Chains A and B, each alone.
Chain A
Amino acid sequence: MLVDWLSLGSIYALLAVGFVIIFKSTQVLNFAHGALAALGAFLVASMATILQIPGRWMGSAPVWLKWTSSALVALAAAALIGLILERLFIRPMLGEGLFSVAIVTLGLDIVIRTVSNDFMGTNPRPLGFPGGTASLDLGWVVIPWNVVVSVIVTLVAVVLIATFFLSRTGVAMRATAFDQEAARAQGINVGRIFSLAWAIGSVMAAVAGIFLSVFPRRSTGVDTATAFLAFAAFPAIILGGLDSIVGAVVGGYAIGLAQAAVTEFLSNNPSFAFLGSGFGGVVPYVLMLLVLLIKPYGLFGTEEIRRV
C-alpha cells in the first residue's frame, strides 16, 4: 500500500502542480493536461528507445546517463510543444471568458491525443526506463527504485517551482494571473508569461507522464489509454484549490493515499464486494465532491470575491 500510495501520490502531485502553474499564471483550466502527459511520455519513449537521441552519439556511457539525457531532450521538446500550442491556440483567447478558454483546451485535448496516438500506433511503447523492476529493500518494505525516484523528483520540482514563484519572474506571473491588464500596465510582458507558464506546465505534465507509464504502474509503457488515466488528477487539483502549489502537492498525496487505502481495504475485505469493481477509482471524485460541499474553493484555494 505504501508503494501504491507513493507512486500514485507523486503522479497526482506532479500532474496537479503542472496544472496549477498554468492556471495560476494564465487562468486557463487545462483539460489537455492528460494528453500532454501522454505526449511527453511518448516523446521520452521515442528519444530513449527508437531514435536513441542523444544516446547513439554517447558511445559507451552508462545506460542511466544515456536515458537521462534522452529524457532531457524529450522534456525540452515537450516544452517547445507547450510553447507552440500556447502561441497557436491559447494566445488568441487572451482576455476571453475563462470558460471559453477551458473549452478550447478540451478541443486541444482531442487534437493532441489524435495526433500523438497516430504517431504512437496501437502497440504500447516501452520507455526503456533504466530502473527496470529493481527495488530498494528497506527491510520492512520493498520499494521499486522507480517509485523512490518519482518521490524525489516531485519534491525537488515543487521546491524549485515554489522558489521560482518568489523570484522576479514568478511575481510577474502571479501579477498576470491576478489581472492581465493591470500587469501589462505595469510593464509585464503578459505574452511571455503565458509562454513560460505553458512551457513549464508541459514539462511537468511530461514528467508525470513518464512515471505514469513505467513500472510498477504501467509495465508496457505509454499507450493510447494513458491520456485518460490522467483525468484522475483533477480531484487532487480541486482538493488543494485551483491556484495553490502547496495545495496541489498536498492534494495529490492525499488523494493518492485515499485511493490506495480504499483499494487495499476493499481487496482485503470481501464483505464490501457489493461496492463492485473500481470503487477505488471513484474515491477521488467522491472526496472532491465532499470537500467542495464544505469548502467551495478547495482546501487552499483563493476565495473569489463576489461583486456586482
Chain B
Amino acid sequence: MRGRPLLVTNYADDQAMLKSTTQTVMAGLFLLFLVCIPLFAPGAIGGGESRIPGPTFLAGADWLKLLSELGIFAMAALGLNILSGLAGQVSLGHAFFMGLGAYTAAVLGSGPGALWGVGLPIWVWLPMAGLIPAAVGIVISPTAVRVRGLYLAIVTLGLVFIGEYVWRNLDFITGGSQSGRNFPALQVRLWREEEALLDLEASGTWLGFLNLSGEGKFYLFILALTVLFVIVAKNIQRSRVGRAFQAIRDRDVAAEIMGVDEFRYKTLAFAISSFYAGVAGALLAVEVGRTIPEQWDLLLSVEIIAIVLIGGAGSISGVLMGSAFVVLLPRLVQDFGNLLQQSAASGGVLATIFDPILSTGPGDFGVVNLSPGVAPGLGILQLNTLIYGLLIIAFLIFEPLGLYGVWVRIRNYWKGWPFTY
C-alpha cells in the first residue's frame, strides 16, 4: 500500500501536511535551495573565492532584501488567509494591525530617546508585536462579529483610517506624520547588555566559516520564521479550530446549529490573524529601517488581500505563491524596463519589437515611457501599479482559485499525461 500517493487508508494520512513521499522530497529540496541562497554569493564560505553553484544574482544584497520582504508579506497574508480564506470574514483592516505590531516593536525594542522606547531584547519585542495586536483584535471583534458581509469590509476600512489618524497624532511613538521613526536593529541579546549575542544586520562570519552579508543573515532569520508560521497555519487549518472556521465561512447559521460557537471562533480568527499581521508589520518596519504613519494605509491592506486572492484564498501554498508574485513582479517589470531602455539606447532587437508601445521621447507616443517626466506614457512604477490592478481583476474573473488553482490544473494535466483523463 505504501507509496501510492492518492491512496489514503486512515484519517491521519488524509490530514497529513505532506501527503506523499514525492511531496516531502520536493518540499525538502525547495527548502534546501532557499536555505542555501545566501551561500551562492562569492566568498560566502571560508572567505576567498569559493562558493556553491547557484544563481549568483539571488545572493545579491537587493535580491536578498526582496526575498526577505517576500517572507514578511507571506506571514501577513497567512494571517489574512486564516481570517478571510478559512473563516470567511472579510477584512480591509490588516494594515492597521501591521502598524500596531510595528509600533509595539518600536516602543519595546528601541532604546530610550526623544521617542518612547524601552530597549528590551528581541525575544520580548517580537512576540509582543504579535500579542498586542491580537489583544486589540479581541477587543475590536465584538463590533466586527455583529456586522457581517460587506458591512464588515467597510467597518474594517474605517479601522484603517482611524488607525492612520492615531499614528499621525501619537508622535511620541511614531515620530509623527511624514517624519517617522527608526526601528530597532535585528540583534539578539539576553537582556540589555551592550554587546549583541548575534547581529542579524551586520556582515560577518558565522560559526567560523560562513561569511554572510547582513542581508543574508536577515534573510535566513525571516526564512526560519516564515517556515514556522507556515507550519502553525497549516496546523490551525487541519485541526478542530480550522474546521470550525470553515464551517462558519460556509454558512454561519448552520455552523452554530452544529454546535460551533460563532462568537468565540470569529474572535479567535481575528486574534490569530492580528497576531500574524503584527509580527509581519514589525519585521517589515525593521527591514525598511524607518517608517512613517502614512505607510499603514488602505493600499497596504489591498496588497495583502491581493496576495491572498492571486494566490488562491484558503490555500497556504497559494499564499506563498501569491506573495512571490506580488512582491517580485514590480522588480521583474523594472528589470525588463531597464533591459528595454538599454536596448533602446543601443538600437537592440527588444526595443524594435516593443517600439509600438514604447515612448522614448517627447514626440513619441506610446503606452510605456522610459524617460519619466519627459515623454508621455506610463512610467515603470505606474505600469507596475496598472499590471497589479489588472491582475487582481483578471484572477478574480478567470481563475478564482488563484495561482493555486493554476498549479493544481498543471499538476493534474501532467499526472495523467499523455492521456487527457
Contact = CB atoms under 8 A, between A and B. Distances in A.
Interface in A181-212: none
Interface stretch (B111-119, B389-397, B410-418): B389-397
A168 interface: no
A143 interface: no
Contact of A111 (B157, B161, B302, B390): B390
Nearest to B146: A296
A110 B385 contact: yes
A304 interface: yes
B161 A110 contact: no
A46 B392 CA distance: 30
A231 B298 contact: yes
Interface in A231-255: 231, 234-235, 237-238, 242
Interface stretch (A66-74, A76-84, A262-270, A271-279): A271-279
A115 interface: yes
A161 interface: no
A170 to B, nearest CB: 23
Given A277-B169, A281-B165, A285-B161, A297 B151 contact: yes
Given A98-B149, A118-B382, A293-B143, A282 B165 contact: yes
Given A110-B392, A304-B149, A278 B168 contact: yes
Interface string A100-116: 10111011111100110
Contacts of A282: 161-162, 165
Contact of A107 (B157, B162, B389): B389
B81 to A, nearest CB: 14
B393 A107 contact: yes
A114 B386 contact: yes
A89 B162 contact: no
A34 to B, nearest CB: 11
Contacts, number: 124
Contacts of B161: 231, 281-282, 285
Interface in A289-308: 289, 292-293, 296-298, 304, 306-308
A277 B377 CA distance: 37
A182 B396 CA distance: 25
Interface in B144-177: 146-151, 153-155, 157-158, 161-162, 165, 168-169
A295 to B, nearest CB: 10
B305 A103 contact: yes
A177 interface: no
Contacts of B165: 276, 278-279, 281-282
Interface string B169-187: 1000000000000000000
Given A108-B393, A282-B162, A288-B155, A114 B385 contact: yes
B162 A100 contact: no
Contacts of B386: 110-111, 114-115
A234 B382 contact: no
A293 B298 contact: no
Given A114-B385, A277-B168, A277-B169, A238 B146 contact: no
B382 A104 contact: no
Contacts of B252: 306
A282 B165 CA distance: 7
A278 B167 CA distance: 11
A286 interface: yes
Interface residues of B, number: 42
Nearest to A109: B389
Contacts of A289: 143, 155, 158
A96 interface: yes
Contact of B393 (A89, A235, A278, A304): A89
Nearest to A88: B393
A26 interface: no
Contact of A292 (B155, B162, B305): B155
Interface in B290-335: 298, 302, 305-306, 309
A99 interface: yes
A118 B378 contact: yes
B257 interface: yes
Contacts of B378: 114-115, 118
Nearest to B149: A98
A36 B155 CA distance: 22
A180 interface: no
Most chain B C-beta atoms within 10 Å of own C-beta, residue among A98, A99, A235: A99
A89 B390 CA distance: 10
A110 B169 CA distance: 28
Nearest to A108: B393
B405 interface: no
A117 interface: yes
Contacts of A277: 168-169
B35 interface: no
20 contacts: A29-B153, A92-B397, A99-B149, A103-B305, A104-B392, A107-B392, A108-B393, A110-B302, A110-B392, A114-B386, A115-B386, A234-B154, A275-B169, A279-B165, A281-B165, A288-B154, A292-B147, A307-B253, A308-B254, A308-B257
Nearest 9 interchain pairs by C-beta: A276-B169, A110-B389, A107-B392, A285-B158, A111-B389, A107-B393, A282-B165, A114-B386, A296-B147
Interface of A: 29, 89, 92-93, 96, 98-100, 102-104, 106-111, 114-115, 117-118, 231, 234-235, 237-238, 242, 275-279, 281-282, 285-286, 288-289, 292-293, 296-298, 304, 306-308
Given A98-B149, A107-B389, A238-B151, 18 more contacts: A96-B400, A99-B90, A99-B150, A104-B392, A104-B393, A107-B390, A108-B393, A109-B389, A111-B389, A114-B386, A115-B378, A118-B382, A276-B168, A281-B165, A286-B162, A304-B148, A304-B149, A308-B253
